[in-house]
């Protein structure tokens, strides 16, 4: 016999069965809502992994290097000759190096119409504040060293020219003598069969004729790259005599007269402006002009940069400027820094550096 408190009346379910069934139904309802809710959840969003701040400069450098590597410097075959005729003085000074005189100007392979850009005004920021307190520990020697005749030497015909230099990338060197009104008195184009990184001695006699007894003149030596752009220009102002005795002055020294500290060669520059700075010995009434020239000969940037009034040492002054440029894609250019004056040829000296620029 069952106990009345434990056995429910007939027709009524047990409490345990009721509770168990309700729990099962509740679980089914929860599962239904969970399954149906999964169908409306937003998709998983992939959050990019941020680069650590200390790795950003490395990434920029790698990107710049990739652009440098993917934009090789364009080359042209150098114009050569098979009939060298070395003169005696240079043969003695340059054993194993042949030289010939080139009578005609090489035909340019690229000759589009140049883009003329008017130089922007001289830099207006305080150069005295930017100028370093002293020259760097070592100064480079000039690309073209005119050993004889020195500045303001008195010379008679023929002039004995002696220089020490790096030839152009095609082995060419041009020597020219200009009279006081800018007229050409003598020009020689020479081509050397020498390694590109080897300095050679240039030794030549230059004949001249002038209408008067004496005349101021400028002796100029230039070297160019495969595209006809100036690599370097050096000059020496002399006094030509038809009668009288020669009086040869030695060179002041052999240091570079326009030192380009920035930009350094073969780097990538982006952003539409190039910071150009360094040291120069041309100050008084001379203009220091920077030109950015591509390998078609187009001037894609130009500016007259400022020169500090403070003299550092050995006659050097600091110069600096920001030179704007315009290019549509990565382009190899030559940056030329030239000292200009109003006399004779108008150019006293040029130094240059080759870089890759991009918008």
The predicted pLDDT at position 117 comes to: 44
Does position 21 have pLDDT exceeding 90, yes or no? Answer: no
Q: Residue 140: which of 355, 356, 351, 354 has the closest Cα? A: 351
Q: Provide CB contacts within 8 A for 344, sequence distance 6+.
A: 178, 179, 180, 182, 216, 217, 218, 237
pLDDT (0 to 100) of residue 69: 57
Q: How large is the average pLDDT for residues 18-28?
A: 50
Buried/exposed 298-326: b ≥16 CB within 10 Å, e otherwise? bbbbbbbbbbbeeebeeebbbbbbbbebe
Q: Confidence band (pLDDT; 50, 70, 90) for 129? A: low
Q: Give residue 149's pLDDT.
A: 96
- Tell me the C-alpha distance between 323 and 188, whole Å: 34
**pLDDT above 80 (res 115):** no
pLDDT at residue 96 in the model: 63
Residue 186 has what pLDDT?
95
Mean pLDDT score, 98-117: 51
This model's pTM is above 0.85: no
Q: Kindly report the backbone phi and psi dihedral angles of residue 337, in degrees, each rounded to the nearest multiple of 5, phi listed first.
A: -110, 115
> Bigger pLDDT: 284 or 182?
182
Mean pLDDT, residues 90-99: 69
For residue 74, pLDDT over 60 is answered with no
The proportion of the chain whose per-residue pLDDT surpasses 90, expressed as a percent, equals 52
**Can you give the length of the chain in residues?**
359
Low-confidence winner among 7-16, 159-168, 260-269, 344-353 (lowest mean pLDDT): 7-16
Look up residue 358 and give its two tokens. Answer: 């991009």
Q: Positive or negative CA dihedral for 293, 297, 300, 303?
A: positive
Q: Of 20-29, 53-62, 96-105, 331-340, where does the model show the most confidence?
A: 331-340
Burial 90-115 (b: 16+ CB within 10 A, else e): beeebeebbbbebeeeeeeeeeeeee
What is the architecture, at CATH level 2, of domain 112-139+256-359? Sandwich (2.60)
- pLDDT, tens digit, for every residue of 215-255? 999 999 999 998 999 999 999 999 999 998 999 999 988 99
Task: Give per-residue pLDDT as tens, 173-192.
Answer: 999 999 998 999 999 999 99
In sequence order, the 6+-apart residues with CB closer than 8 A to the CB of 152 are: 237, 238, 239, 249
Same topology for domains 82-106+141-254 and 112-139+256-359, yes or no? yes
Check residue 89 and give its pLDDT.
64
With contact defined as beta carbons under 8 Å apart, do 157 and 207 qualify? yes
Angle made by CA atoms 346, 348, 354, in degrees to the nearest 5: 105
pLDDT per position as a tens digit, 226-236: 899 999 999 99
**Distances in Å between the alpha carbon of 241 and those of 155, 236, 294, 307, 332?**
6, 16, 41, 36, 45
Mean pLDDT, rounded, of the chain: 77
Q: Is the per-residue pLDDT at 125 higher than 90?
A: no
Which CATH architecture does the domain made up of 82-106+141-254 adopt? Sandwich (2.60)
Domain segments of the chain: what residues? Answer: 82-106+141-254, 112-139+256-359
C-alpha dist (Å) from residue 69 to 64, 293, 311: 9, 21, 41
CB 223 within 8 A of CB 173: yes
């Amino acid at each position: 016999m069952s106990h009345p408190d434990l056995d429910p009346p007939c027709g009524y379910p047990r409490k345990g069965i009721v509770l168990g069934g309700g729990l099962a139904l509740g679980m089914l309802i929860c599962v239904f809502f969970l399954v149906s809710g999964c169908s409306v959840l937003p998709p998983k969003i992939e959050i990019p992994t941020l680069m650590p701040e200390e790795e950003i400069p490395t990434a920029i450098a790698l990107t710049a290097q990739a652009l440098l590597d993917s934009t090789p410097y364009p080359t042209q075959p150098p114009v050569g000759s098979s009939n060298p005729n070395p003169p005696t003085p240079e043969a003695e000074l340059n054993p194993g190096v042949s030289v010939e005189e080139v009578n005609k100007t090489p035909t340019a392979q690229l000759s589009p119409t140049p883009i003329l850009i008017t130089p922007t005004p001289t830099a207006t920021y305080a150069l005295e504040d930017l100028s370093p307190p002293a020259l760097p520990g070592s100064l480079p020697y000039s690309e073209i060293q005119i050993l004889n005749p020195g500045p303001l030497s008195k010379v008679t015909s023929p002039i004995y020219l002696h220089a020490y230099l790096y030839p152009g990338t095609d082995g060419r060197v041009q020597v020219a003598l200009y009279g006081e009104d800018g007229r050409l008195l003598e020009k020689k184009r020479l081509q050397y069969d020498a390694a590109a990184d080897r300095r050679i001695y240039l030794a030549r006699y230059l004949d001249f004729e002038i209408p008067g007894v004496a005349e101021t003149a400028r002796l100029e030596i230039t070297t160019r790259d495969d595209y006809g752009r100036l690599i370097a220009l050096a000059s020496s102002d002399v006094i030509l005599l038809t009668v009288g005795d020669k009086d040869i002055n030695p060179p002041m020294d052999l240091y570079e007269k326009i030192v380009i500290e920035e930009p350094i060669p073969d780097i990538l520059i982006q952003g539409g402006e190039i910071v150009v700075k360094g040291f120069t010995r041309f100050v008084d009434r001379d203009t220091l002009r920077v030109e950015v020239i591509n390998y078609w000969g187009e001037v894609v940037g130009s500016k007259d940069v400022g020169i500090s009034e403070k003299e550092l040492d050995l006659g050097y002054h600091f110069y600096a400027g920001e030179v704007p440029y315009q290019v549509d894609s990565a382009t190899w250019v030559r940056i030329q820094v030239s000292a200009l004056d109003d006399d004779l040829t108008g150019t006293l000296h040029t130094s240059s550096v080759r870089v890759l620029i991009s918008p």
